[in-house]
Structure 1
Amino acid sequence: MGSISNHKNHHDTNLMDKSDQVVVLMVPFQAQGHLNQLLQLSCLVSSYGLPVHYVGSAIHNRQAKARANGLNANDVAKIHFHDIPTPPFDSPPPNPNSSNKFPEQLQPAWEAMLNLRKPIACYLQETSKNARRVIVVHDPMMALAVQDVNTIPNAESYAFNCISAFSQVSLVWESLGKQVPIEHQKLPIFMECIPEKLLEFVALQSEPSSYRAGDLYNTCRLIEAPYLDLLEKEEINGNRKSWAIGPILPAKLSSERQHKCLEWLDKHGPKSVIYVSFGTTTSLSDKEIKELASGLEQSKVKFIWNAVERLMVSEEGDEIRKRAEELAATVRQATQEGGASRLELDSFIDHITR
């Protein structure tokens, strides 16, 4: 979302006078995609002059800092990282033969987070003694760990949803056993790619999640309005407030020095490099890796690129490019000063510092 430093210059100065009375605690789910988004949000909220505490296990706090994406080191340095003691847990190797490629090796670490409720509650209690209000922004997967915020008079919690509103609708409606009420939309079956143990972990968050005061979404209404409207229905969200404040990834990278991968890409001609990504936690078997490597080697890149090129020079390709350009323009508009997402973020800050 634009330049983080810009937020300081465009918000009501009255907020800055009282910001030291409101403390924000970020409690991320301990997986990289979640850690990174909460750290990005931490820097955004901090840019309004609010003290922000990032709460997690020591190993995951280190991971969040070491793998921070697109953030200025000076902005990250302003965040207070608080290490919560975590009981020992198994760390099995990835299973490359898993049928669904889900990173089940992380399950023991996630289950260990069920023991974080007491230390987080103690930290909340101590923090609340020196603040007019404590705001807890947590991943929905951490609702059980932060549920004691409900017992602290000057504290309230908000869920930050890392996945798209599109995916959130699919997940919520599946859990309710309902069909998504949007015509001509064939949403994928979300539950089918999640192991049973993780579904049980998610189910444990259900009741504690009802204690939250509102929801934050890492998306913008200009793109996902139909799905946000569904999520904001009273039967789903009650009377809680919600804000679509994304995309929160800075539109401009903070460092002037390019990553070595980008420098390497700059040395190659257009349409000469294939990008293959399976995420940061997916495991492949040796056989699968060999097959992929063999295919790429035998293609000499040209065969695979030609297949893409034929699509992109077609009418369908023209439409894809057009939609991509429109989407990029929409995102830039939403995150600029006065844009929809920027205004919703301002509204959220006003709300928690009221």
Structure 2
Amino acid sequence: MDSSGALHVVMFPWLAMGHFIPFLELSKRLAQKGHRVSFVSTPRNIKRLPQIPPHLSPLINFVSLPLPHVDTLPENAEASIDIPAQISQSLKKAFDGLEVPLTTFLQNSNPNWIIFDYASYWLPGVAAKLGVPCVFFSLFNAAVLAFLGPPSALLRVEEEGFKPEDLTVVPKWVPFHSNVFYRLHEVLKYMEGAGENESGVSDFYRFGLAIRDSNFVALRSCSEFEPDWIRLLGELLKKPVIPVGFLPPSAEDIEKEGDAKWVIIREWLDKQGRESVVYVALGTETTLSREELNELALGLEKSELPFFWVLRKPPGSNQNESEMLPEGFEERTRGRGFVYMGWAPQVRILAHPSVGGFLTHCGWNSIIEGLGFGRALALLPVGNEQGLNARLLEGKKVGLEIPRNERDGSFTSDSVAESVRVVMVGKDGEPLRAKAREMKELFGDRNRNDRYVDFFSQYLEGA
């Protein structure tokens, strides 16, 4: 800490867009408090980040570390968005190769704190040798982390493995009623996709060491939303758990997001009735099978509701996006539906008054953005922790999960249509819509969320 009380904080996120953005948002909030931030990542990823507001840019320094070469990674692949999910462990192997250059940077820069992500399980050991305290910044909510359990349980999975059925029940350490657990098809999909682990280190082990060896855990959540889970998490981890709020995007960020693309999108949305449109987006890295894509499309068609669907082709695919859709789908839904190919300004779309609901893959970033505008949720979790998020949200009555086959995860166009109609216009969905509108006061209130960052900043200053 310098003579003015300002800290030097190093940020080191995992190589995924869904991780860069909250880490950058927290960096901006700390810079607003007068602290100096070094945001460390790879050259291509730093170029992808949105511009920092001019009044904060002197306090945020972007540090570029070239990603080490790994034979199984495509050229110029520096983030999970650049690769198919099947080779994600290759990216983690390359990421682990950043340990030496990052150590050199830390030795030369003398930070007061390091804030790091789950993948860099080796970083607390480096920090301890340098005498620098470190914070594990969880981009997962407390319910997900508590479901995974204490570090000892995570490290035991690394040693002993697990049966799929182990994850389809509420863990023994959860003392209250909960519906937060995996469906069998979600666990089987994870195991099928894991394949050979080129990095040599499982995600369970990364989480276990990152949590165990950090000084404390920062959480992208707030006590009003999941008080029982946050309390339980502190008991399980036996260390402080500090919520930093939801870090909602600022009005300034929303206004600048995707200006060139926004003109066309806004023109279409402006023609729709108030809260009549269901916004459909399954994240930057989600890949549906051809059958799933067909059922989703036909379900939107059968719902007879206006929809705006952001559709992206999988990384490395040469397929034309329009070929992904059922034959004649766009013609049959023209006027009522808009299929937008590629990246779209999601926050601006969710903020538009014609959008009433959000069909989401249940990534935590998307949930925060959707509830920040009071949009009721149709839940279609696809992978990772998304199933746990879906069950948490359904339990809190802000969303409805689209039914799927328990073993293979398949769903039908009829179940999509019915779920979307309940969420958007059905009488049974009115409590969901009312509860989602209530959540806007929690997820979208900038002042309330800033108070969490204030406390976090004071905690860093006083530690």
Q: TM-score, normalised by structure 2?
A: 0.59
Does the CA-based 8 Å contact 1:72-1:254 persist in structure 2?
no
Please report how far the alpha carbon of residue 124 of structure 1 lies from its aligned counterpart in structure 2 after TM superposition. Answer: 0.7
Q: Which of the pair has the greater relative contact order for Cα pairs under 8 Å at 6+ separation?
A: 1
Answering whether residue 71 of structure 2 is matched by residue 84 of structure 1, we say no
Does the CA-based 8 Å contact 1:243-1:345 persist in structure 2?
no
Map of 1:169 onto structure 2: 146
Partner SS for 1:87: coil
Which one-letter code corresponds to 1:79 in the other structure? I
Map of 1:227 onto structure 2: 229
Answering whether residue 167 of structure 2 is matched by residue 194 of structure 1, we say no
Answering whether residue 132 of structure 2 is matched by residue 158 of structure 1, we say no
Q: Mark the CA change 1:217 to 1:87 in structure 2 (over 3 Å): closer, same or farther.
A: same
* 1:299-318 matches, cutoff 5 A: 301=305, 308-309=420-421, 315-318=427-430
> Alignment partner for residue 322 of structure 1, among 434, 438, 447?
434
Does the CA-based 8 Å contact 2:423-2:433 persist in structure 1?
no
Answering whether residue 127 of structure 2 is matched by residue 149 of structure 1, we say yes
* 1:343-354 matches, cutoff 5 A: 343-354=451-462
Partner SS for 1:25: strand
Please report how far the alpha carbon of residue 91 of structure 1 lies from its aligned counterpart in structure 2 after TM superposition. Answer: 3.4
Deviations 1:233-258 (A, max 9, x none): 1xx222x3221111112353435466
Aligned equivalents of 2:120, 2:293: Cα separation in 1: 34
Aligned equivalents of 1:274, 1:207: Cα separation in 2: 41
Aligned equivalents of 2:281, 2:253: Cα separation in 1: 24
Please report how far the alpha carbon of residue 141 of structure 1 lies from its aligned counterpart in structure 2 after TM superposition. Answer: 2.0
Please report how far the alpha carbon of residue 120 of structure 1 lies from its aligned counterpart in structure 2 after TM superposition. Answer: 1.0
Map of 1:139 onto structure 2: 117
Map of 1:277 onto structure 2: 281
Deviations 1:125-160 (A, max 9, x none): 1011xxxx521001122232453111123x210011
Deviations 1:96-124 (A, max 9, x none): xxxxxx82343311221111111111111
Does the CA-based 8 Å contact 2:276-2:424 persist in structure 1?
no
Q: Mark the CA change 1:309 to 1:206 in structure 2 (over 3 Å): closer, same or farther.
A: closer
Aligned equivalents of 1:54, 1:32: Cα separation in 2: 14
Aligned equivalents of 1:325, 1:290: Cα separation in 2: 31
Which one-letter code corresponds to 2:134 in the other structure? S
Aligned equivalents of 1:187, 1:310: Cα separation in 2: 22
Partner SS for 1:151: helix
Unaligned runs of 5+ in 2: 76-83, 157-165, 307-413
Aligned equivalents of 1:264, 1:82: Cα separation in 2: 40
Does the CA-based 8 Å contact 1:244-1:344 persist in structure 2?
yes
Deviations 1:313-335 (A, max 9, x none): 555322112211222223356x5
RMSD over equivalenced CA pairs, Å: 3.4
Aligned equivalents of 1:29, 1:205: Cα separation in 2: 12
Unaligned runs of 5+ in 1: 1-13, 94-101
Map of 2:105 onto structure 1: 123
Please report how far the alpha carbon of residue 77 of structure 1 lies from its aligned counterpart in structure 2 after TM superposition. Answer: 6.8
Answering whether residue 4 of structure 2 is matched by residue 17 of structure 1, we say yes
Aligned equivalents of 2:424, 2:303: Cα separation in 1: 19
Does the CA-based 8 Å contact 2:230-2:241 persist in structure 1?
no
Map of 1:237 onto structure 2: 237
Q: Mark the CA change 1:254 to 1:16 in structure 2 (over 3 Å): closer, same or farther.
A: farther
Q: Mark the CA change 1:296 to 1:325 in structure 2 (over 3 Å): closer, same or farther.
A: closer
Partner SS for 2:34: coil
